[in-house]
Structure 1
Amino acid sequence: MKILFMIRDPFVDAYPKLIRDAKGLADEVKVLYTDNGIKKEDLLQEVKDVDIIVVAIVKIDQEVIDAAPRLKYIIKFGAGYDNIDVHYADQKGIPVTNAPGLNAESVADHAFGLLLSASRSIPQKDKEIKTNQWELSVGHEIYGKQLGILGFGSIGKAIAKRAYGFNMTTLASGNYKDYGTADKWNVTFVEKEELFAASDFIIVSTSLTKHNRRMVNKALLNRMKPAAFLINISRGGLIHEQDLIEALKQKRIKGAALDVFEMEPPQNELAMLPNVIATSHVGGSTYESIQRIGNLTIQNISQFLRNEPLEFVVTPNLNK
């Protein structure tokens, strides 16, 4: 049994017990460092003799799956599995599991960090100080403001809980509606068009699917208030980046704070705009969340090897 880990490079250093535990379960464990990218031809070679793939952001498509004739199980090290061809894996009888909700608190923390940073220009002021500039600037309070959350899953609900502490009025939009949690944190469900028009801060926290790619486009951006901020801690593909660039350059909205981009690292000017705060897809990267996901990973590998039911199977036909 050979396990190939392709998780974010700092994750291995943050939780070395993960690899040690995996080595106790398999004949061979290999860690492939991929944060600086990996060529497709190299990836195809690396997977040809593996039985289990543990992956964070590397794309596992049909070609990769076909290049791994021994592949029996794919584990997503995180929640969003849009980088894995789940339906093709399902057709091949290969289960795919993920770790929903285990990084929700970390991502929600980061979302509010971006929100506060945008509202008070904290990164910009830090940069000025470090270049010997001392200038007054006027920011915005978030206390009592209107927050819009696009997507009300585990992360969206964790964000709503934090917003309640800031006495924010919260709107939410999405297919999943947890009315009990919404009532608890004073959240009102609306259509996304109303959410974009009414909110002072909008946080994108919905999963990326083939149906909602680039859903945040010019039509929605044009509904935003001129003083509003857009924050994305989910997937870059949810935003039409060129439309956002135009809105920011033309100052149709106040600014954006982005942890994710359609291409990572970003290949366009979006992250370089002065009214954009950018981080490098680190929303879920905390010691605590890595440990939780790592423990689930080892648990699922153990259960797979014992032919026991797996936790959080996302392959449709195998999740029955």
Structure 2
Amino acid sequence: MKKVFLAIGRSFYEAYPQIKENIESLGAEVSCLIGDYAADKQELIAGLKDADIYINGIEKVDQEIIDAAPSLKYILKYGTGVDNIDLDYATEKGISVSNAPGQNASAVAELAIGLMLSVSRKIPQSHADMQAGNWRIAMGNGLDGKRLGIIGFGSIGQNIARMASGFNMEVVASGTYRNMQAARKWEVSFTELEELLATSDYVIVSTSLKSSTYHLLDRKRLGLMKPSAYVINIARGDIIDESALLEVLQSGRIRGAALDVFSKEPTDSKLTQLPNVVVTPHIGGATEECVRMIGKMTEENIGNFLSGLPLMNLVNSPAAVRQS
């Protein structure tokens, strides 16, 4: 009997606890490591020592982790981003890796819009004032007719464009992936990153983290933004240079920011203390609907693996390694 090791956050497990029973019904043995955030590395190593299949949440899967799991043949990311997994080493070891792309696109896009509204209308500040017994009018900024720049036009970026169209925003996008059909549908124009930054009233980061996007928004590029502009990051923290962002926000070089992701999580960043910043603890995909869809895709892929059927959404090609 194949052994499945499930290590995900408590809130994600509680949103779809049926996953354990459903995988067991496929004929696998399931053990779980459910925590409030990332698991301790030694706990992870202990849980993976005899696992054939690993359902991964946010834990970093490096060479040490992979070497500690000699039976491991398949890693499933319980989400989309695989930047926490050493894909090259997994491939070298003949381990298949898949994710669940698109399942969180609507949820993350909704949060992006919510953060954009929250920071521009100062909703958290007004809420805090009311709870403190104060009745004080916070003057904000509207979205109607403003330019929205989306960095990364994958499934999340496209959903952001769809939702922004309801606010009568002018939408531009940048990135290597250009879905022309979606762009025409939502009246999105493509432009270079520098032009997007220099002309947008709101900038939403929705691209994946890789070597080419690490600190994509550095001090120089943040300096291109309008003083009245806001930046919203719902992708990965390391896409923005946090020290540079802190500087431009403290100096008033840009008006504000809304951040769901950070370079280190949980974060101790000074960004969380600024009055012109709205922050959330990486909750982009944290909806019950999103988690259920990811869970069902995970179950289907494990069923395929156990039956020797093709796997969906592979992000590496280990078959060639096994055959060599």
TM-score w.r.t. the length of structure 1 is 0.97
What residue in structure 2 maps to residue 66 of structure 1? 67
What residue in structure 2 maps to residue 229 of structure 1? 230
1:207 aligns with 2:208: yes
What residue in structure 1 maps to residue 24 of structure 2? 23
Cα distance in 2 for partners of 1:65, 1:57 equals 15
Cα distance in 2 for partners of 1:49, 1:25 equals 19
Cα distance in 2 for partners of 1:37, 1:233 equals 19
What residue in structure 2 maps to residue 242 of structure 1? 243
Q: Which amino acid aligns with 1:18?
A: I
The offset of 1:8, in angstroms, is: 2.0
Secondary structure of the structure 1 residue equivalent to 2:282: coil
Secondary structure of the structure 2 residue equivalent to 1:117: helix
Q: Which amino acid aligns with 1:134?
A: W
Alignment of 1:113-152 (within 5 A): 113-152=114-153
Cα deviations by residue, 1:230-261 (Å, 9 ceiling, x for unpaired): 00001111110000011111111111100110
Cα distance in 1 for partners of 2:38, 2:177 equals 34
What residue in structure 2 maps to residue 277 of structure 1? 278
- The answer for unaligned runs of 5 or more in structure 2 is none
Cα distance in 2 for partners of 1:202, 1:209 equals 19
The offset of 1:43, in angstroms, is: 2.1
Contact 1:73–1:94 (Cα < 8 Å) also in 2: yes
Q: What is the total number of aligned residue pairs between the two structures?
A: 320
What residue in structure 2 maps to residue 198 of structure 1? 199
Cα distance in 1 for partners of 2:318, 2:103 equals 24
What residue in structure 1 maps to residue 43 of structure 2? 42
Secondary structure of the structure 1 residue equivalent to 2:150: strand
Contact 1:34–1:58 (Cα < 8 Å) also in 2: no
The offset of 1:34, in angstroms, is: 3.5
Contact 1:172–1:188 (Cα < 8 Å) also in 2: yes
What residue in structure 2 maps to residue 264 of structure 1? 265
Alignment of 1:148-227 (within 5 A): 148-227=149-228
What residue in structure 1 maps to residue 104 of structure 2? 103
What residue in structure 2 maps to residue 84 of structure 1? 85
Which stretch has the larger CA shift, 7-16 or 231-240? 7-16
The offset of 1:52, in angstroms, is: 0.7
> Aligned pair in 2 of structure 1 residues 319, 188: CA closer, same or farther (>3 Å)?
farther
> Aligned pair in 2 of structure 1 residues 104, 246: CA closer, same or farther (>3 Å)?
same
Q: Which amino acid aligns with 2:224?
A: R
The offset of 1:319, in angstroms, is: 9.0
Aligned-pair RMSD on alpha carbons? 1.4
Cα deviations by residue, 1:89-109 (Å, 9 ceiling, x for unpaired): 111111000011111000011
The offset of 1:318, in angstroms, is: 4.1
Q: Which amino acid aligns with 1:118?
A: V
The offset of 1:137, in angstroms, is: 1.6
Cα distance in 1 for partners of 2:239, 2:36 equals 22
Cα deviations by residue, 1:180-237 (Å, 9 ceiling, x for unpaired): 1111111110111010110000000000002211111111111111111100001111
Q: How high is the sequence identity, in percent, across the aligned residues?
A: 47
Cα distance in 2 for partners of 1:47, 1:89 equals 14
> Aligned pair in 2 of structure 1 residues 196, 318: CA closer, same or farther (>3 Å)?
farther
Contact 2:156–2:206 (Cα < 8 Å) also in 1: yes
Cα distance in 2 for partners of 1:234, 1:86 equals 19
Which stretch has the larger CA shift, 8-17 or 76-85? 8-17
Cα distance in 2 for partners of 1:108, 1:27 equals 35
